[in-house]
Amino acid sequence: MSILRAYLALGILSLVWGTSFILIKKSLESFEPLQVACLRMSLSAIAFIPVLIYNRKRMEWSRLPLLMVLGLCSSALPAILFSTAQTRISSATAGVLNSLTPLFTMILGVLFFKIKVQWRQVLGILIGLAGAACLVLMSRGGSANDPIGYALLVVLATVFYAMGTNLIATKFRDMDSLLVSAGSFGTVGIPLAFVLVLGTDFVPRLGTLPNVWLSLGYVAALSWVGTVLATILFFKVIQQTSAIFGATVAYLMPIVAMLWGVFDGEKIGLLHIGCMGIILGGVYLTRKSST
């Protein structure tokens, strides 16, 4: 992959994943948070089922239990947490907090996966967490229902993302990335489809709410573009460049998310921008010291 194509791919990823936060917000206009998450995972699983069928002889079926854990950590649980959080916090705030993922990846790597760190990496972690704490405190906004807990749901989602990233790096390094994606989404998305249909009022909503099909379109875009295609592209970038280069998408996503928030009428102040700068500064220090 040439340098130009690599940067173009990174730009596409940041645009797609940065846009996912506003798509979640729009989806919540007709669906409950659990429904958005289950629908997102179910539609993604449908897209990956042909991959599993075609590669059934290459698939390492003995790894399915661990693939399910990976699917829960890297996709299903964060999807539920993000959808729930965005009922009370802005998509821009969710996008900025998402940039904590590389920091928690390093923390969990040290604690559970025996990764060595340098003092500059530790400094980057502390700076990033300080910026996130300031942003969470500002998200209170004087509301009677304290949304600080909802902002912390996004932080928890980034912890799950970090666990999934470490699992991929340590447990699935020798497995085709397309099969890892298909296996993790398939094992989690199919059961969640039954939860969606049998455990919620998803079907009745389709025939009663006025803008429900528009919201369904938002979820479909979130699933097939923001999850399926973007995941394949992301793995391709990492395979043909490096993990460090691919990780820089986390720096660009909050900027895209904040711009979408402004476009959608959300208010972004200088303090929000300052906190974003602190978070990204911490991530920058962490990544720079590892190169």
Give the pLDDT of the chain (291 residues) as one tens digit per residue.
666 777 788 788 888 887 787 788 888 889 999 999 999 999 999 999 998 899 988 888 889 999 999 999 988 999 899 888 888 887 667 777 887 887 888 888 888 887 777 777 778 778 877 777 676 666 554 444 447 888 899 899 999 988 888 888 788 878 887 888 899 888 899 999 999 999 999 999 988 888 889 999 999 998 888 888 888 787 777 666 655 566 667 766 766 766 776 776 767 778 777 877 887 777 777 655 544
98: left (phi over 0), alpha (psi -120 to 50) or beta: alpha
Domain of residue 249, residue span: 3-289
Look up residue 22 and give its two tokens.
């506003």
- What is the structure's pLDDT at 287? 58
Least Cα distance to 286 among 81, 80, 128, 154 occurs for 128
pLDDT at 42: 93
Contacts of 54 (CB under 8 A, 6+ apart): none
pLDDT at 157: 93
- What does the pLDDT read at residue 258? 67
**For residue 197, how many C-alpha atoms fall within 13 Å in the half-sphere facing its CB?**
7
Q: Domain count of the chain?
A: 1
